[in-house]
A and B are shown apart, each in its own frame.
Chain A
Amino acid sequence: MTANKSEALGTFVIAPSELGSLISALREDGYEVIGPKLADGAIVHEPLESADDLPVGYDDEQEGGTYRVAKNGANTYFDYVVGPHSWKRYLFPPDQQLCQMRRQGKTFRLIETKQEIPRYAFFGVRSCDLHAMQVQDKVFDNGEFADPGYMERRKAAFVVVVNCLRPAATCFCASMDTGPRATGGYDLALTELASKGRHEFLVEVGSSRGEEIFAKVSGRPATEADQSAPETASAKAANAMKREMVPDVQALLKRNLEHRRWDDVAKRCLTCANCTLVCPTCFCTTVEDYTDLTGSTAERRRRWDSCFTMDFSYVHGGSVRRETYARYRQWMTHKLSSWFDQFDVSGCVGCGRCITWCPVGIDITEEARAIRDSEGSR
C-alpha cells in the first residue's frame, strides 16, 4: 500500500519526453504499466508499452447518457478525465477463479492452484479513482475477513496520479471532498503544466518507492512558483465543476427511504446495471459453478454482480427487491448513506461515471437534490 502522506517527499519538474522514461523505469522494475489508451472511441485503461501509447491532444465531452472523445488540437496528454473503466477491473477482476475441485468416487478434494500476483503500475490515476481504491481497501479487509487476492494486488500496485485540470460536466468530486487534486496515497503525482507556450510536468513524490523509480527520470527541482501550480489548477477545476452532491446526503436518504421520488426514478431506470459496472467502488459479486464435461472437475468463479438484477436478492420463493424503485433505492442509498454505516466512508467518490454511462441519463446528484428540495417544501 502506498504511503498516506500529504507532504511530498520532493517536487520536481520534468519535460513531457520524460513520461517515456518514467514508463520505462516502471517496466524495467518489473511493473506491468496500465494507463489511458484510446480504444473504440473511449479512453480506457490498457497495458502501456511506452509513452507513444498515450493519447495526446484529446478531450472528452460528458453529459448524462453522453460520452464523446474528440481531438482538441493541443499537444497535451491529460485533458480528458475519467472514461468507462475504473482501476477496480485490475485490483478486483470482473471474473476470477476462486477454487477448483476434483471428484474421486463419492469424495472430492481441492486442487491446489497458485495464482501469480501481478505487479501493476497504474499510470494516470485521477483523485476520485484513488479515493475509490481507498474505499475498496476497506471493503476487502473488513476486520474479520480479508480477500487475499485483492490485498496482495493492491499492496504490489504502484500508483501514478494525474491531477485533473478541468472537470467533465458530470464530475462532482469537489463536493465529495475527493478531488480534483490528490493529496496523498500515491507514489508519484503528475500535474501537467501547459500554458503560454510552456509544456512541462510537475512531479510530486509521495513514497520511498516513488522516490526510487523517479531517480531514473531526469528533472529539476521545482521552484516555489511551480509548487503552487497543482493547488491553483485544482481550485480552478473545482470552480468549473457544474454538478455537486447536496450536503448531509447520508442522513437525508436515511430519513427518506419511503419517498415518491423513488417511484419517479423507477419510471426512467432501465435496471440495466451500467451504473454499477462503471462505478469504481461497487463491489458486489456472484459465484458461478462450472464442471467439465465428464463432471470430474469443478470450478467456482467469482464474477461482478449488480443489485439491479432480479436474481440479486432471490431467496426461495422470490426476490426481495422485485420492483425497480427498490433496486434503484438500494443502489443509491448504499452509495450515499448505508455505506457510511458499513465502512465509515462514502461509497460515492463523485467521478460522475454513473451519470455519463446511464443510457437514460439518470443523475445521482439530481435525484438527491429532488429529495432534499421536497423536504424544503414540506
Chain B
Amino acid sequence: MNDPMTPSPFRVERVRKELSDTFTLDLVPADGKRDFPFLPGQFNMLYAFGVGEVPISISGDPSKPDTIVHTTRVVGAVTRAMRNLGVGHTIGVRGPYGTAWPVEEMQGADVVIVTGGIGLAPLRPAIYSILENRSAFGNVSILYGARTPEDILYRKELEKWRGMFDMQVDVTVDYATGRWAGKVGVVTKLIQRGGFHPQDSIALICGPEIMMKFAVQALQDRGVTDDRIYVSMERNMKCGIGFCGHCQLGGDFVCRDGPVFRFDTLADKFAISEL
C-alpha cells in the first residue's frame, strides 16, 4: 500500500520573483517527465527539506500539466526555505488535493472574480481555463485589490488581460504610492460598480477571510445568490487528506470538502466566529 503521506521529489525548473515577498516556482517530477493533471483551485502539499510542509494552491495552467506552478508568499519558516531554493533544487510534492472552481458550470454565465493580494494565485488556473475557451462564457470581470501598487501580483498578465477587450479587469489598492492614479479603496467597492448581470453571474472569491465576508455581502446586495458564489478557504493543514484534523470547519475538512466551497453550503459556519 502506498503511503499518501510520503512526498514525491520534484525538481525546481524555474524561479521567478513576483513581489518583494512573493515568488513563483515551476516544478517537474525529479524521476523524469510525466504529467501532473490538476483542476483549477486545487492545492499541493509542498515539503522543504528538513523544515516542513505547507499547503500551497496551484497557480499554473491546467492545460499545461507537464509543469506545476506555485506562487508563494513568505510567511513562515517553510515558505522562507522555499524562497531560498534555486534551479535544480529538490522539493517534495504531495497532491493535487481538494475541490475545484466550477469552471464547467460557469459556461454560459457571466463570471465575476473577486480577489485580493495573493488570492489571485489560486484563481489564475481558473482564468487560464476561461481564456482557453473564452467564447463559452459570458462577461468576465476580474476585480482585484492589493495593498499598494507595488503589491499587485501578476501585473503584466493583468495588463495583458485588460488589453484583450473581452474581459474587464479592475484594480484597486488600499494605499496609493508613487505615481498611482488608479483606484484607491477596498475591492468590495468594485463589486458595487462592476458591470456584470447579477442574475446571470457566478462569482469566485479568494482572499483574506474578512475580505471574502464583505465581498459576499456586496455580491448578495447586487442580487447574486449564495448558490452562485464560491469561496476558497484557508486553514492549518498537516496532511491534506483528512487525517490530521487541523483544517476542520464544523463538519467539513477544508482539505477534502474544500478549499473551494459553494457559499450556500458554508454560510452557517462562515457566520460563527472562531469555529
Which residues from chain A sit less than 8 Å from chain B, CB to CB?
A: 98-99, 101, 103, 106-110, 139-140, 142, 144-149, 151-152, 257-258, 283-287, 289-291, 295, 298, 300, 302, 305, 307, 312-317, 320-323, 325-326, 329-330, 333-334, 337-342
Given A148-B1, A323-B274, A287-B239 contact (CB < 8 Å): yes
A106 touches B90 (CB 8 A): yes
B50 touches A298 (CB 8 A): yes
Nearest Cβ on chain A to B267's Cβ, whole angstroms? 13
Given A144-B256, A334-B248, A99-B50 contact (CB < 8 Å): no
Interface residues of B in 50-66 (CB under 8 A from A): 50-53
> Across the interface, which residues of B come within 8 angstroms of A302, CB to CB?
5
Interface residues of B in 189-211 (CB under 8 A from A): none
> Across the interface, which residues of B come within 8 angstroms of A314, CB to CB?
236
Please encode chain B, from 19 to 48, with 1 for each CB lying within 8 Å of some chain A CB and 0 for all others.
Answer: 000000000001000000000000000010
Question: Is B7 an interface residue when CB atoms closer than 8 A count as contact?
Answer: yes
CA distance A151 to B1 in the complex (A): 10
Q: Which 3 A-B pairs have CB atoms at the shortest separation, nearest pair first?
A: A341-B251, A284-B245, A326-B274
Given A110-B6, A322-B274, A287-B251 contact (CB < 8 Å): no
Interface residues of B in 239-261 (CB under 8 A from A): 239, 241-246, 248, 250-253, 256
> Across the interface, which residues of B come within 8 angstroms of A147, CB to CB?
3-5, 243
- Within 8 Å by CB of B246, from A142, A148, A284, A325, lies A284
The binding surface of chain B is classed by DSSP as loop
Q: Which of A110, A145, A323, A333 is the most central at the interface, judged by chain B CB atoms within 10 Å of its CB?
A: A145
> Across the interface, which residues of B come within 8 angstroms of A109, CB to CB?
9, 30, 90
Known: A110-B9, A338-B248. 9 other contacts (CB 8 A): A98-B5, A103-B50, A283-B243, A286-B238, A302-B5, A313-B236, A321-B274, A322-B274, A334-B248
CA distance A334 to B247 in the complex (A): 12
CA distance A341 to B269 in the complex (A): 14
> Across the interface, which residues of A come within 8 angstroms of B1, CB to CB?
146, 148, 151-152
> Across the interface, which residues of A come within 8 angstroms of B5, CB to CB?
98-99, 147, 287, 300, 302
CA distance A231 to B238 in the complex (A): 44
Nearest Cβ on chain B to A197's Cβ, whole angstroms? 51
- Within 8 Å by CB of B250, from A110, A149, A286, A338, lies A338
> Across the interface, which residues of B come within 8 angstroms of A139, CB to CB?
243
B51 touches A316 (CB 8 A): no
- Within 8 Å by CB of A148, from B3, B7, B92, B274, lies B3
Nearest Cβ on chain B to A109's Cβ, whole angstroms? 6
CA distance A332 to B259 in the complex (A): 24
A148 touches B2 (CB 8 A): yes
CA distance A151 to B53 in the complex (A): 24
A257 touches B88 (CB 8 A): no
Nearest Cβ on chain B to A36's Cβ, whole angstroms? 29
A108 touches B90 (CB 8 A): yes
Nearest Cβ on chain A to B79's Cβ, whole angstroms? 9
CA distance A215 to B7 in the complex (A): 46
A287 touches B52 (CB 8 A): yes
B90 touches A320 (CB 8 A): no
> Across the interface, which residues of B come within 8 angstroms of A284, CB to CB?
244-246
A285 touches B236 (CB 8 A): no
> Across the interface, which residues of A come within 8 angstroms of B273, CB to CB?
326
B90 touches A142 (CB 8 A): no
Q: Which residue of B lies closest to A115 (CB)?
A: B3
> Across the interface, which residues of A come within 8 angstroms of B47, CB to CB?
300
- Within 8 Å by CB of A287, from B76, B234, B244, lies B244
